[in-house]
Amino acid sequence: MQVLDKEFELYITHEEILNKVKALAEELNKDYNGKCPIMVCILNGAFIFAADLVREVNFPVEIGFMKYSSYVGLDTVGTVDKVADLAQDVKGRDIIVVEDIIDTGYTMERILCDFKEKGAASVKVACLLQKPKKLITNIKVDYCALDIKNEFIVGYGLDYNGHGRNLKDIYILSPDDND
């Protein structure tokens, strides 16, 4: 699969992704039965995951969106900038942060700090993917669909320079193009 100037290979099929999303939703259904949290989708990457996840939960939920920036091309830039803030008031509310991928943890650390400062009653992290070997911060991921190796991926909302988000499967950077 060609995305811009890079070649990618199939890594996780759409069917496997959806099965993992359903399993993660079952955990949330048990833990949030009788509650009405705000699910906060971190844009842009988590929008497809969040849409599939919210359709699988059976408790009342509000949806909100935030946007942070920390990547350019294949690499993190080392800083985390808030681009768009959440519209809802979170004081005293249960929050489920829905993120596409956790790698170093810097972005999630910033997000969790922001919610703590705003007085959220609880904040849990639900991610589609995490790279345990790349994690630098001491954040807790409460719900994770899949652990993956420390490789660059695209598809199912994840991008390479703004491209590839629309791919229904997840692709890994080809070893021949990993320079």
Positions marked active-site: 103
CA-based nearest residue to 150, from 130, 127, 175, 176: 130
Rg (CA), the chain: 16
Q: Give SS3 for 140.
A: coil
According to DSSP, the β-strands at 122-130 and 6-12 are unpaired
Report residue 69: phi and psi, to 5°. -130, 130
Report residue 109: phi and psi, to 5°. -60, -45
Q: Give SS3 for 137.
A: coil
CB neighbour burial string for 70-101, b if at least 16 within 10 angstroms, e if fewer:
bbeeeeeeeebeeeeebeeebeebbbbbbbbb
